[in-house]
Amino acid sequence: MVSLLILVPFFAAIFLNAPLKALREKLAFGAALVLFLGQMLLMIFPKAGSWTAHAAVLDNLLRFPLKMDALSTVLLFCIGAVLSAALLLSLRAIPQDDRRLNFISVLLLMQAGMNGVVLVADLFSLYVFLEIVAVSSFILIAFDKHIHAFEAAFKYLVMSVVASALMLSSIAMILLVSGDTSFPGISAALQGSPDSLLIASAVGIFICAAFIKSGLMPFHGWLPDAYSAAPAPVSVLLAGVVTKTVGIYTLLRIVVFVFGFTLPLKNILLIVGALSALAGALAALAQTDFKRMLAYSSISQMGYIILGLGSGTPLGVLGAVFHLFNHAIFKSLLFSNSAAIESRAGIRNIQEMSGLGSRMPWTALTCAVGSLSTAGMPPLAGFWSKLLIIIALWMSGNYAYAVIAILASLLTLAYFLYLQRNVFFGKAKEAFNKIEEAEFVILLPAVVFSAITFVVGVAFPWIWNTLLLRLPGIFGV
């Protein structure tokens, strides 16, 4: 019963703020971990009988027009995985029980919002659940309540409100033409009016709003500040799933299943994707703050996803979805590494670090896996998704964009080699002589995500034949 994916986190957030404060502080972490891990397991075993047993009863009570397909399943798995990682990191990043209870409450609301975004089949409902994620993100970015956090949260809020206004305007214009806000209704209406100036304007405005939500260039102003000023678990969340769910997934869903591919739309996606991939990589090269480098790297990798989408071919869309999954995993891994180093060394300036590899070997190893996967080195997962995108671009005749994608990969390798060399190699500074490996709760998400990155990469031929080729609704484009 898919509506439970929205209702259970919502009611859990309410229950955790009921009276009996001591009891709920003890229950909060365990309950949230069960919900997040449970969501992951349900996506791996979707036909499990126990949770669908009472579907008929709830179906009669709540008539939610929700739809779960292959694309939703991928996102729901990523949401569960990254939320679990953020929860584990919060054990050390937010040591006070009462503050962590508040953090978990907002995390549960964000889970309800993100699950709603990937499950709804109506444009206005999509907007409503996007707003849930926006408000929750604003609270979490400002959670530490220092001046930089407030500044970053305010920037995020302003850009988010502009995007929301654009989205609403687009929905209003689409409603004039279609008379309906459901995805199939809009798609049918748009196919019946292909040359309408109003529709073209509405599509363009909606796409701009999605670009702002994704933090793609040139609408990326809020993203580096938000990623770097937020607490460590929130950075993992923002980079891992939030921008992907509210921005990239929305684009994928609306372009592939509602608007459809037109030549101007493909060109816009290709231009923005190329700009983000290249400029994001160049900007990352100039950074000295660990988290800001990862933030610009995220912009660059999201540019890859948009390039795959912009090719307009099934292979390109498949590559975009696969890279979306991979990026959620390896970017969360890298931000976990950043949290580990910050918790032990107390700094984020890459130029002030050196020789940490000997003091924090597991962090160094997992960071190397994440960095190489991001750069597209075989046989890791990132190599295969980037390869699919580049092949799709080449086969669809977008040769220049394929070359840009390869160049951006080289730049990605450059800045991650710089990061690795400065942080983990060389002689350890005297100040770091007493540093130990990161704590288990911080190391665990990094180890699990690096294992997923390695296994998905090595087992890619099996994954391609068994899973990807059988994804309905994506190859049906």
Can you give the binding site for another protein, defined by CB under 8 A? 6-7, 10, 13-14, 62-66, 102, 105-106, 109, 112-113, 116, 120, 122, 124-125, 128-129, 131-132, 135-136, 138-139, 142-143, 145, 150, 154, 157, 161, 168, 175-180, 189, 193, 196-198
Q: Are 375 and 416 in contact (CB under 8 A)?
A: yes
Closest CA to 214 of 331, 323, 298, 294: 298
> What's the closest the beta carbon of residue 125 comes to another protein, in angstroms?
5
> What's the closest the beta carbon of residue 349 comes to another protein, in angstroms?
28
Q: How far apart are CA 363 and CA 182, in angstroms?
A: 46
**DSSP string spanning 129-157?**
HHHHHHHHHHHHHTTT--HHHHHHHHHHH
> What's the closest the beta carbon of residue 276 comes to another protein, in angstroms?
27
When the beta carbons of 135 and 285 are compared against another protein, the nearer one is: 135
Q: In which element (H, E) is residue 293 found? A: helix 290-310
When the beta carbons of 27 and 135 are compared against another protein, the nearer one is: 135
Q: Are 301 and 323 in contact (CB under 8 A)?
A: yes
Closest CA to 213 of 333, 277, 129: 129
> What's the closest the beta carbon of residue 173 comes to another protein, in angstroms?
8
Q: How far apart are CA 318 and CA 470, in angstroms?
A: 11
Q: How far apart are CA 257 and CA 474, in angstroms?
A: 9
- Neighbour count for residue 92 (Cβ, 10 Å): 17
Q: How far apart are CA 232 and CA 238, in angstroms?
A: 10
> What's the closest the beta carbon of residue 212 comes to another protein, in angstroms?
16
> What's the closest the beta carbon of residue 111 comes to another protein, in angstroms?
10
